[in-house]
């Protein structure tokens, strides 16, 4: 596909990298020549220096025969106008825009064909809020993503030394939980993917990805995490849109407190919450944290707009006894910086946003894309179409599908029933498959497998 990306920041640059690696013709537009030069140094792309919503700039970028426009500049209004210009002047087939402000997102009519003509809007704040909510609802996991409209979840956990699975082969799980069906998608040891066979013995510190029905996840996590206990007390640092929405979502089942620096903002969010307690103060103030019994807090979430505040307040909370600390970190370099520190979970909004973008870009009938391990791996939900003559997967046993070595089928959704992967299963038309890919270079090969022959479309 010929794709134009507006914005050369972290999301734009990372999305460009994914698309170039999959053989797409990519052009990146930005007003910052330094950012464009950096991207061109490492990727085979075209770069255009100019204002993203300008018709002349878009023409220079090749909008007249582009298949898709992805507007991810830092400015919501520029993204919206660029989509409107692309539609009105050039009839661009597909237009995606990142919209941060909740004021816009709450009015979908703004993005209709009669207004800003945007086919897909991506709201990082909503995506990040939902992601943190899942981490709170599934204690002790490193990552959790949903498939099949929430029926199943893929989670990552670190095997603890006290786990009954430490030193045992994966097949031992059948003895511990004989009535629960699940599928181990991958195992990472020392940041390297190892083969997830039933004979592979798990070691303390291994990061294991497994898929199961959502209602069974907690039982499985307890096997790997000896200290499993549900979260009750949540302290949120930052009363911005993410902090406010997160409190709203979890306050019914959790005891929630928010620390907000701005007194006017603190009053505003307090009026919109039913059970949460809102405190005016500095989340990096040790005295305040002590007064709020930080040592008895289950989860401390640092979700301000400042990376430094998030990192330092999370480290302080952990040192003062918080059970788990979660920090939103905007810059990719900062995410790498905190790895191995006292921060339990560092969340990159850019990576979460990229996963949502890729869902709408992937070839074939892709339902969901989740970026895992900071983009090193991926899990996708894809629909199989065609028949034995027009498809490379339909009518074939799973073991007959020519998947790359790093890819595996984790589960299938068929007529509202989840079937966990068995090599003897035959793929049927309209099956939804979850595929885990531990090496990003193999993504394009997986996509090609699920593309039907042209005759199927006739």
- Write the DSSP string, 368-429: EEEEETTTTEEEEEEE--S-TTT-SSTTSBGGGS---TTEEEEEEEETTEEEE--TTPBP-T
Alpha carbon separation from 123 to 91, 128, 294 (Å, rounded):
24, 9, 31
What's residue 453's pLDDT?
A: 61
What's residue 363's pLDDT?
A: 60
Cβ atoms of residues 97 and 120 within 8 Å? yes
42 CB neighbour count, 10 Å cutoff: 11
Residue 446 to residue 454: CA distance in whole angstroms: 18
Residue 212 to residue 142: CA distance in whole angstroms: 16
Angle at alpha carbon of residue 44, lines to 40 and 45, rounded to 5°: 70
What's residue 101's pLDDT?
A: 86
**Phi-psi category of residue 354: left, alpha or beta, with phi > 0 → left and psi -120 to 50 → alpha:** alpha
Q: What residues have CB less than 8 Å from 407, skipping those under 6 apart?
A: 435, 436, 437, 438, 442, 445, 446
What's residue 205's pLDDT?
A: 92
Signed CA dihedral, 53, 54, 58, 64: sign only: positive
pTM of the model: 0.84
The DSSP bridge pattern shows strands 25-30 and 46-49 to be: parallel
SS3 (DSSP) at 51: coil
What's residue 368's pLDDT?
A: 84
Query: Residue 321, exposed/middle/buried by CB under 10 A (0-12, 13-18, 19+)?
Result: middle
What's residue 454's pLDDT?
A: 45
Residue 426 to residue 415: CA distance in whole angstroms: 14
Of 44, 42, 47, the residue nearest 7 (C-alpha): 47
Give the tokens for residue 274. 């039913």
H helices, E strands: number in the chain: 15, 22
Cβ atoms of residues 259 and 288 within 8 Å? yes
CB hemisphere CA count around 364 (13 angstroms): 28
Per-residue pLDDT of the chain (458 residues; tens, 9 = 90+): 899 999 998 889 888 988 887 778 999 999 999 999 999 998 989 999 999 999 999 999 999 999 999 999 999 999 999 999 999 999 999 999 999 888 899 899 999 999 999 999 999 999 999 999 999 999 999 999 899 988 999 999 999 999 999 999 988 888 899 889 888 888 888 888 887 777 888 999 999 989 999 999 999 999 999 888 999 999 999 999 999 999 999 999 999 999 999 999 999 999 999 999 999 999 999 999 999 999 999 999 999 999 999 999 999 999 999 999 999 998 877 777 787 788 999 998 888 888 888 778 766 577 888 877 766 778 889 999 888 888 889 999 998 998 988 888 989 999 989 998 778 899 999 999 999 888 877 887 888 888 876 444 44
CA 383 to chain centre: 20
Residue 276 to residue 382: CA distance in whole angstroms: 39
Bridge partners, residue 187, by sequence: 194, 208
């Amino acid at each position: 596909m010929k794709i134009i990306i507006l914005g050369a920041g972290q999301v734009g640059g990372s999305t460009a990298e994914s698309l170039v690696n999959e053989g797409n013709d990519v052009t990146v537009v930005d007003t910052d020549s330094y950012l464009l030069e950096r991207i061109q140094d490492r990727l085979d792309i075209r770069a255009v220096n100019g204002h993203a919503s300008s018709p002349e700039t878009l023409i220079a970028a090749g909008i007249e025969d582009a298949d898709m426009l992805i507007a991810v500049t830092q400015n919501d209004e520029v993204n919206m106008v660029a989509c409107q210009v692309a539609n009105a002047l050039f009839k661009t087939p597909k237009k995606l825009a990142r919209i941060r402000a909740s004021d816009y997102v709450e009015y979908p009519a703004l993005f209709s064909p009669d207004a800003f003509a945007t086919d897909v809007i991506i709201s990082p704040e909503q995506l990040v809020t939902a992601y943190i909510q899942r981490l709170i609802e599934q204690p002790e996991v490193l990552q959790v993503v949903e498939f099949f409209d929430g029926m199943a979840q893929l989670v990552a956990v670190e095997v603890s030394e006290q786990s009954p699975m430490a030193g045992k082969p994966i097949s031992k799980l059948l003895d511990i939980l004989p009535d629960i069906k699940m599928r181990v998608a991958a195992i990472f040891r020392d940041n390297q993917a190892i083969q997830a066979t039933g004979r592979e013995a798990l070691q303390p510190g291994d990061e294991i990805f497994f898929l199961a029905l959502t209602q069974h996840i907690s039982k499985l996590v307890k096997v790997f995490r000896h200290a499993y206990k549900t979260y009750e007390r949540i302290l949120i640092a930052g009363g911005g849109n993410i902090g406010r929405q997160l409190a709203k979502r979890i306050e019914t089942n959790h005891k929630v407190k928010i620390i907000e620096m701005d007194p006017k903002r603190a009053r505003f969010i307090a009026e919109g919450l039913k059970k949460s307690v809102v405190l005016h103060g500095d989340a990096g103030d040790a005295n305040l944290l002590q007064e709020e019994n930080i040592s008895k807090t289950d989860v401390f979430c640092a979700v301000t707009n400042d990376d430094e505040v998030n990192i330092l307040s999370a480290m302080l909370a952990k040192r003062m006894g918080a059970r788990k600390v979660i920090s939103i970190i905007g810059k990719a370099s900062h995410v790498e910086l905190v790895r191995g520190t006292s921060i339990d979970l560092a969340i990159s909004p850019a990576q979460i946003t990229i996963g949502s973008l890729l869902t709408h870009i992937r070839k074939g009938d892709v339902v969901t894309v989740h970026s895992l391990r900071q983009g090193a791996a991926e899990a996708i939900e894809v629909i199989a179409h065609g028949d034995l003559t027009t498809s490379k997967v339909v009518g074939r046993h799973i073991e007959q599908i020519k998947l790359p070595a790093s890819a595996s089928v984790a589960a299938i959704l068929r007529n509202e029933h989840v079937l966990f992967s068995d090599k003897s299963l035959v793929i049927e038309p309209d099956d939804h498959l979850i595929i885990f890919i531990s090496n990003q270079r193999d993504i394009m090969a997986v996509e090609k497998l699920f593309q039907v022959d042209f005759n199927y479309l006739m």
